[in-house]
A and B are shown apart, each in its own frame.
Chain A
């Protein structure tokens, strides 16, 4: 069973044997990854998908044959050698837009989730640890934010901020923060009661040391899982917003926007909806598989089987 201790020990052993850090590290990483793949095949598939997404997003300028907004071609062309995914209602190459869309989706998803979960998570952890009035007060704030229906909150935010990619990120961040705060707070609460934290406090560690050295690292697994799952959620929420007319501006190659435009021509130009739909579902699917697998691995309660 690959866990952090195993890997750490293996690395240390490799270093001691004197093979040198680089080849030893690579080999142990490779071994760790293979063990992961065998142990969690679904997670490995998810990981591959996420990797493909990241590569596509990073190398979009090199990979995409055309710009995302080039409308110079014939409209509604079926997939062909020249346009492997066809063209849309303005004559733009769908393959290019899907590739650029990967960058946009990843950018929107990662930034909003990173900021939202980090902010929310930190809040949750810190207030849980200190408890008392700050905890109650912040829990009321979280309650208020969670009591508001998310779609309405997102709509009102987009209407107030104006439609742009960055404002979509802001709206999504605000949506995600309260849930992260709540989840990580409960994780932190359970860690707070655990024996080694008690021991650390007894040994004289300050509160902040305890937080940073004990509580945060043990919340890390939850953080990673929340992260992967919510990037998928962010992508899907952005798609919903564009259906309601308040997502990213429609000339941007957002997969959700492309999906909405494609619903206008489902029979006459099904490629308009098929490829962005495939992109979204594969991405969210992969992210969730990966998140699930990491959760299975790192949650100490879930190791082993029933037999």
Chain B
């Protein structure tokens, strides 16, 4: 008996070692062009000044940052232009030692002066930078140059997410001489970076092409000869391109629906790998706290209790989502409340009979004959379906919603101005994987996406403390308290689910690793194509 066990163990080890060795031995192959698509025409290619994913996608491989998410393991932050860095004991000064011998795509040498020019631009109070600027301006006081290969970031206070922010795909370093020559980064000619790819061609509305940067500062990289993104705006065209093999991956917004993923599998089964992944985006329902009926906290609680998150995930996200959570454990680890706790909370627990009865009671108390509400939604693919299901759920407790749809772009103006009573569904994507993001984006009084104009001093206080707390354990406690406070309270934005979706990649693609956010794995620096 024992001999058998030992024999099996040895055989297992030998086989495992052999296969593992064989896989590890698969050498990266040079060459090939990666084809994929951008869901919208970027228009203006200024990574610091623009906000949409379409712009970030178009320029990702062209630039480098001080730090970035490791392409081999995108949950880790590693140095990009910075070789190493140190933090001062009080946590307010970070010193970054920059690589030497790095050249811009036009041949000019890279130095600390470029980093300074970049940060001066982003931190300038008159410069509109909705992504990097809104992250860095609250925490960074200035950036100083030490010697030509050292920079120091001076923080206003010791801020926990500073490295995550600096590693963000939006905080890329641009050239001082380019800024001086062109003024801004709008034009394709101004896209001079230090990244693994150069911008070869931008045919507006049609295609964006990158070509290999032969002088990239990591010798041997990149493996690909180039990357090509077709600009495909229509949904049927995107799926047709996938089925016909014209694009090699789906890594953009929105993700595929399950029916489309199934169709793709049927069309190209053995050539592609279809997988489900999170996009660090949360599906929210908003209520305006300054207008009836939702200025009444009882009514907000009623909605919170009545919404069947699990049904919404099952029917409108086709099961690809994490219901109820305010922070997703898959994305932020133990900063999130444990699912067992979250799923038992009122509003989340199944079966919902008790919660629906309570919700009905709350509504009847204030509106014995029920209440009619105008429910806003933007005319974007999946949103309309979600909206209809949300409204049918609310009908059960006496809230009768009439759907009012807005155009995709102009709808944001309506939300921002507060010209709504109820938003049936709106997703918000997180820019970094830091747990504090969602609170400063949506839940604090002055948050940019606090469209319902909710104000809770405790939330503001906890969010601020979480930003400044550097001890991880203490930080975790703060965010746990914050989650509990919001989930058991009457917020204006009800978290329904973290959204996941289906994606695919061509089986020939190697070393393509998904990162927690949608922005951090599209440089293709270390991706290669097998035969």
Chain A interface residues (CB < 8 Å from chain B): 69, 71, 75-76, 89-91, 159, 162-163, 245-246, 249-251, 263-269
Q: In the complex, which residues 252-281 of chain B have their Cβ closer than 8 Å to any Cβ of chain A?
A: 257, 259-260, 262-263, 266-267
Report 5 cross-chain contacts, Cβ distance below 8 Å, ordered by A residue: A76-B259, A90-B389, A246-B407, A249-B384, A269-B259
> Are A71 and B266 closer than 8 Å at their CB atoms?
no
B404 CB–A CB distance under 8 Å: yes
In the complex, besides A76-B259, A250-B405, A266-B236, 5 extra interface pairs with C-beta distance below 8 angstroms are: A249-B384, A251-B388, A264-B235, A265-B263, A266-B263
CA gap between A163 and B384 in the complex, in Å: 13
> Are B379 and A250 closer than 8 Å at their CB atoms?
yes
> Are A245 and B262 closer than 8 Å at their CB atoms?
no
Min CB gap B116→A, angstroms: 44
* Selected contact of A245 from candidates B403, B404, B408, CB within 8 Å: B408
CA gap between A269 and B262 in the complex, in Å: 11
* Selected contact of B388 from candidates A69, A245, A265, CB within 8 Å: A69
* Selected contact of B392 from candidates A71, A76, A265, A268, CB within 8 Å: A71
> Are B260 and A265 closer than 8 Å at their CB atoms?
yes
> Are A159 and B410 closer than 8 Å at their CB atoms?
yes
Given contacts A71-B392, A264-B257, contact A163 B405 (CB under 8 A): yes
Min CB gap A267→B, angstroms: 4
* Selected contact of B236 from candidates A89, A162, A263, CB within 8 Å: A263
> Are B403 and A251 closer than 8 Å at their CB atoms?
yes
Q: What residues of B have a CB within 8 angstroms of the CB of A90 in the complex?
A: 315-316, 385, 388-389
CA gap between A263 and B315 in the complex, in Å: 18
CA gap between A250 and B315 in the complex, in Å: 17
B13 CB–A CB distance under 8 Å: no
Chain B binding surface SS class: helix
Q: 10 closest A-B pairs (Cβ-Cβ)? A: A245-B379, A250-B384, A268-B259, A265-B259, A267-B263, A163-B405, A251-B388, A263-B236, A249-B405, A249-B403
Most chain-A Cβ atoms within 10 A of its Cβ — which of B235, B384, B389?
A: B384
* Selected contact of B379 from candidates A76, A163, A265, A269, CB within 8 Å: A163
B220 CB–A CB distance under 8 Å: no
Range of interface residues on chain B? 20 to 34
CA gap between A91 and B381 in the complex, in Å: 17
Q: What residues of A have a CB within 8 angstroms of the CB of B385 in the complex?
A: 89-90, 250
Q: What residues of A have a CB within 8 angstroms of the CB of B218 in the complex?
A: none
Most chain-B Cβ atoms within 10 A of its Cβ — which of A163, A264, A268?
A: A264
Given contacts A75-B315, A90-B315, contact A245 B259 (CB under 8 A): no
Q: What residues of A have a CB within 8 angstroms of the CB of B266 in the complex?
A: 267
CA gap between A263 and B316 in the complex, in Å: 17
Q: What residues of A have a CB within 8 angstroms of the CB of B384 in the complex?
A: 249-251
Q: What residues of B have a CB within 8 angstroms of the CB of A267 in the complex?
A: 263, 266-267
> Are A264 and B379 closer than 8 Å at their CB atoms?
no
B380 CB–A CB distance under 8 Å: yes
Q: What residues of A have a CB within 8 angstroms of the CB of B259 in the complex?
A: 76, 89, 264-265, 268-269
* Selected contact of A246 from candidates B235, B379, B388, B392, CB within 8 Å: B379
In the complex, residue of chain A having the shortest beta-carbon distance to the beta carbon of B393: A71
Min CB gap B331→A, angstroms: 27
> Are A263 and B235 closer than 8 Å at their CB atoms?
yes
Q: In the complex, which residues 397-416 of chain B have their Cβ closer than 8 Å to any Cβ of chain A?
A: 403-408, 410
Min CB gap A124→B, angstroms: 34
> Are B404 and A163 closer than 8 Å at their CB atoms?
yes
In the complex, residue of chain A having the shortest beta-carbon distance to the beta carbon of B257: A264
Q: In the complex, which residues 225-261 of chain B have their Cβ closer than 8 Å to any Cβ of chain A?
A: 235-236, 257, 259-260
In the complex, residue of chain B having the shortest beta-carbon distance to the beta carbon of A245: B379
Q: What residues of A have a CB within 8 angstroms of the CB of B267 in the complex?
A: 267
Q: What residues of A have a CB within 8 angstroms of the CB of B405 in the complex?
A: 163, 249-250
Q: What residues of B have a CB within 8 angstroms of the CB of A266 in the complex?
A: 236, 263
Mark contacts of B426-467 with chain A using CB atoms, 8 A cut-off: 1 yes-contact digit, 0 otherwise. Answer: 000000000000000000000000000000000000000000
> Are A162 and B388 closer than 8 Å at their CB atoms?
no
In the complex, residue of chain B having the shortest beta-carbon distance to the beta carbon of A265: B259
Q: What residues of B have a CB within 8 angstroms of the CB of A162 in the complex?
A: 404
> Are B389 and A71 closer than 8 Å at their CB atoms?
yes
CA gap between A251 and B404 in the complex, in Å: 10
